[in-house]
Structure 1
């Protein structure tokens, strides 16, 4: 079993708590701006001292409302300043945060509230409050964020001694639960993943020193991924501990505008966002008659990035071409991210080598990482001084990564979760007697300790001919085409590999306009020869990466895109394969019985 590990940079003491940075920041840099909070009139700065005061005041309200140490308190809201405030206030009251995605169904909310034994719930809107009350009619404490309940809660806590908050936040053990995160999952009922203060402090404490280029003085970022997801939650901890000026936004339709106004120095995102940024830039260039220029700029950016890893670096000719295209193309691309953004962290799914090289060549360093909710979540990542594009980097300090005989990625360290809530059988299945967490992902370690992800163990397709096929290799490459939104490879126990493909609704109008066919819905284009020929190019490009037995032989274009709202995607934009298999059973059947 091949292993790779690094010694921890930061060792977590037994008295450490997740609230410690809030108290330290208020004492050491009280006037430093920690957050910019969106208001009706624009943005209001929140200093470290003010954030600390608001956390304490909200925690006092929770104590007055009867929340006891160890109680679970749910939080259902989009990403916003109040999400972070409430999260820290729950911890300051000695309680445990249970995040709920704002897109969750009544059945999901009912399960999470009941399974966690939550004693109360924060709900963002009136609709969320109504859903919570329907799901848990016996839940007495429901506070609506947009209904004025936060000021009322603060008023309620006026008689609670501030020392009670200090006692609660520092009491207990560093190994007590801090949060129970219910995995959205692509199959099955969500499991409550228990993460302790030590788990999360070890993860962010060892990540910040290795990502010092991101957390340098004067750093700023915009949080827009769902904070109910462990990936965004980790950055929330990072910006507080690293004293990074941060704004929140949940409306990605206004993301470019927000980035322009806030001008972040780095971002956290998922690969799909980077794919859309690239595809949008290419479409605009093509619409303006400059598609050829963009294509040449893309090739130069990739070549330039590859040359950075070669002895001697880029040659003179390549440097000159890069300089020209930086002025013509790359500068505009960076301007769309606010103009100051030099780096980004990508996770949740593979970014792909092509996009990684393109963005680095265009002046945006995208550092890929890897992890799961059960690992707090980050266990590997690339860093500015140790990046290998196409991999998810080296193990986090304090983490050991191993590859089992069957190719499964195993992990061990302080970041590994304590247990699945109320589910000892699932815990025993996930963590073996030697403390190895079995990720369910397949991968490989190179001689330098860089990890590459090759697929998901449970998603391996075995054809009727006995060929093992990892869908991710094909799916990632098909999705690289600007017209493609999602791709799901099928073919288990079938004679050949097929694929279900959806069209990007943002890219389609421009493609149709170029052909004089505006306003044609995709539902009328599933068998359109021109569209099929375009998608065939994406499939052919993907097939180049695999053997003939693994190649996609037949594909079907679906009449609409997969979305979280319709149930085919998780909140982190992963395809729920079981849902799609059931929803599109007829289309899959048509692939094999034409």
Structure 2
């Protein structure tokens, strides 16, 4: 099987598109979108790489990147790879203590920092890190003694270029099996582990995905996810090789505005974005006049009928095509306009996407292609084909990858994209491979007759009640989050008699409802304390769950004032809930809820 490297991908791409595309990247600086051409990107990464060599960085040395998603991140990444260093991404949302652990465990000798805030975090712990010699800052405002500015690093590299006449040849000579990056997992159950990914692990995954995705000329992508996560990073490599211009969103909160400015053809995100768009569309429809509501829900029903025909590969009858055309003009065309007007498809990963939301977007000619993978698999294992998607699944395996389902339902994988192991953790590495070399994903799933994979839940997230019944919490949570009064939800109940559900209200909707009932409160806690509000939210939640088996039904709805955040440690940087962190944070509330529910059950039984 052919192998490749990320330096090969970099130089070939920069050469191939230098004269055919207007730019490689675009980023908003000072309120205006600025382009970085392929020649500029190659030059800057080359000069940074030589600058690193001049600082004394040797092949195999670890260099961290502590930054938000921005074009400088991408250039620094290629600089490290071309210098044959191993880069170590670090989320900028991590605490100083967490950053210190990763820098220490990886033995990083250098670190790129985006801002003065990130530099300050590193400076605070630098005395505890004897291996760390070099700090490079992207922004001039981060200048301080002992810190090299990115512009100065590039100038150093430019001045020394004559001493590296074979720089490109040396960069291209790196072995495909050489370590490219150390990516630390989020560490929800202890210290994070450094996932070792080689050049070929990632390169092979890029080539596999390119065989599935339909990427044409003049494509533009809006990028918004953390480059510190392998999902966004591998997507960027893939799009770059295909000649797609990458536009970096200002932030997740500004995605809506950036969509209207960039007019992308491709957007890659996580379910939380699609959930928010869907909730906003529903809210606009429900807050309108009676005729507006009637038109919207008629169009939604027509769209679902049309989508069912399309997804089943059945020809669409003329009467349905006519109705769909009217529905499109009245409703769906407006949604496409709000997302920039040019989107061919979205890609979703990192967490399960509700089938209802996926079908609504499909009805609007905005298909969401769902895939599945892990950091340890570089990351893509499966991906729905654009011409044959199955909603509710994450698609068949990508070329070169093998999957099978173990006797307990766990998904096992093999392929050139599977990691080399966990850095300095041989026992943990051994624990995730079976005797035949299959990687144990920790996810539960099933393959249908066409080879499409459906994920049930994380193996470690499955709840086993005291009565021995297994409950998959994610499908329950996703169903509840479809309700307009719910912002977030977490189902708990492992080793308990029954499950309960923690619910974060959508205050905008809840306050509107309370006002129509003449209910007033001076704060969110006071609002949630009102008996009518509690009863309303309980009815809404339980109304979403009518189809559940009796043992799956939460016996108690617990209202939580504040939504989960990355900063509180309750969400990962890709916005997945850290179930154990939530359970620890709200232990007293949870224990009280179970005590009250037990008393109620005892009273009923007595």
In the other structure, the counterpart of 1:571 is 573
1:138-177 equivalent positions in 2, closer than 5 A: 138=129, 139-147=132-140, 149-157=149-157, 158-160=159-161, 161-177=163-179
Instruction: Name whichever of 367-376 and 479-488 sits farther off.
Output: 479-488
In the other structure, the counterpart of 1:285 is 285
In the other structure, the counterpart of 1:110 is 100
Residue 301 of structure 1 and its aligned partner are, at CA, apart by 2.2
Contact 2:500/2:556 (8 A) holds in 1? yes
Task: Determine the C-alpha separation between the residues in 1 that align with 2:543 and 2:445.
Answer: 23
Task: Determine the C-alpha separation between the residues in 2 that align with 1:511 and 1:87.
Answer: 49
- TM-score, length of structure 1 as denominator length: 0.94
Residue 91 of structure 1 and its aligned partner are, at CA, apart by 0.4
Task: Determine the C-alpha separation between the residues in 1 that align with 2:237 and 2:110.
Answer: 23
2:480 alignment partner, SS class? helix
Determine if the alignment matches structure 1 residue 26 to structure 2 residue 10. no
Residue 42 of structure 1 and its aligned partner are, at CA, apart by 0.9
Residue 509 of structure 1 and its aligned partner are, at CA, apart by 5.4
Task: Determine the C-alpha separation between the residues in 2 that align with 1:464 and 1:200.
Answer: 42
Residue 432 of structure 1 and its aligned partner are, at CA, apart by 2.1
In the other structure, the counterpart of 1:274 is 274
Residue 513 of structure 1 and its aligned partner are, at CA, apart by 5.8
Task: Determine the C-alpha separation between the residues in 1 that align with 2:318 and 2:521.
Answer: 47
1:247-326 equivalent positions in 2, closer than 5 A: 247-289=247-289, 290-310=292-312, 312-326=314-328
Contact 1:505/1:561 (8 A) holds in 2? no
Residue 189 of structure 1 and its aligned partner are, at CA, apart by 1.3
Residue deviations 1:243-274, cap 9 Å, x none? 10111124122211111111000110100110
Task: Determine the C-alpha separation between the residues in 2 that align with 1:53 and 1:517.
Answer: 63
- TM-score, length of structure 2 as denominator length: 0.92
Task: Determine the C-alpha separation between the residues in 2 that align with 1:241 and 1:512.
Answer: 53
RMSD across aligned positions (CA): 1.9
2:312 alignment partner, SS class? coil
Task: Determine the C-alpha separation between the residues in 1 that align with 2:208 and 2:442.
Answer: 24
1:375-394 equivalent positions in 2, closer than 5 A: 375-394=377-396
Residue deviations 1:179-212, cap 9 Å, x none? 1000114322110001110100111111012102
Unaligned regions of 5+ residues in structure 1, if any? 1-10
Instruction: Name whichever of 396-405 and 542-551 sits farther off.
Output: 542-551
Residue 124 of structure 1 and its aligned partner are, at CA, apart by 0.8
2:429 alignment partner, SS class? helix
In the other structure, the counterpart of 2:400 is 398
Task: Determine the C-alpha separation between the residues in 2 that align with 1:220 and 1:590.
Answer: 51
In the other structure, the counterpart of 2:43 is 53
Task: Determine the C-alpha separation between the residues in 2 that align with 1:460 and 1:566.
Answer: 23
CA separation of 1:319 and 1:60: change in aligned 2, threshold 3 A: same
Residue 541 of structure 1 and its aligned partner are, at CA, apart by 4.5
Residue deviations 1:393-430, cap 9 Å, x none? 00011111110000001111001000100101110001
Contact 1:282/1:291 (8 A) holds in 2? no
Instruction: Name whichever of 58-67 and 20-29 sits farther off.
Output: 20-29
1:455 alignment partner, SS class? strand
Residue 490 of structure 1 and its aligned partner are, at CA, apart by 1.4
Residue deviations 1:76-99, cap 9 Å, x none? 111111111111111011111100
Task: Determine the C-alpha separation between the residues in 1 that align with 2:232 and 2:204.
Answer: 16
1:494-573 equivalent positions in 2, closer than 5 A: 494-504=496-506, 508=510, 511=513, 521-573=523-575
Residue 364 of structure 1 and its aligned partner are, at CA, apart by 0.3
Contact 1:185/1:570 (8 A) holds in 2? no
Task: Determine the C-alpha separation between the residues in 2 that align with 1:419 and 1:277.
Answer: 38
* 1:80 counterpart (45, 64, 70): 70
Task: Determine the C-alpha separation between the residues in 2 that align with 1:520 and 1:232.
Answer: 42
Task: Determine the C-alpha separation between the residues in 2 that align with 1:355 and 1:118.
Answer: 43
In the other structure, the counterpart of 1:234 is 234
Determine if the alignment matches structure 1 residue 448 to structure 2 residue 450. yes
1:128 alignment partner, SS class? helix
In the other structure, the counterpart of 1:7 is none
In the other structure, the counterpart of 2:91 is 101
Residue 26 of structure 1 and its aligned partner are, at CA, apart by 3.2
Residue 521 of structure 1 and its aligned partner are, at CA, apart by 3.7
In the other structure, the counterpart of 2:219 is 219
In the other structure, the counterpart of 2:484 is 482
Determine if the alignment matches structure 1 residue 35 to structure 2 residue 25. yes
Task: Determine the C-alpha separation between the residues in 1 that align with 2:521 and 2:321.
Answer: 43
Contact 1:178/1:196 (8 A) holds in 2? yes
Task: Determine the C-alpha separation between the residues in 2 that align with 1:345 and 1:102.
Answer: 24
1:136 alignment partner, SS class? helix
Instruction: Name whichever of 405-414 and 19-28 sits farther off.
Output: 19-28
Unaligned regions of 5+ residues in structure 2, if any? 144-148, 597-606
Which structure has more relative contact order (CA 8 Å, sep 6+)? It is: 1
Task: Determine the C-alpha separation between the residues in 2 that align with 1:436 and 1:230.
Answer: 21
Residue deviations 1:10-50, cap 9 Å, x none? x433xx32022332233333132211132225122222222
2:528 alignment partner, SS class? coil
In the other structure, the counterpart of 1:127 is 117
CA separation of 1:304 and 1:112: change in aligned 2, threshold 3 A: same
In the other structure, the counterpart of 1:245 is 245
Determine if the alignment matches structure 1 residue 334 to structure 2 residue 324. no
CA separation of 1:593 and 1:131: change in aligned 2, threshold 3 A: same
Task: Determine the C-alpha separation between the residues in 2 that align with 1:28 and 1:284.
Answer: 46
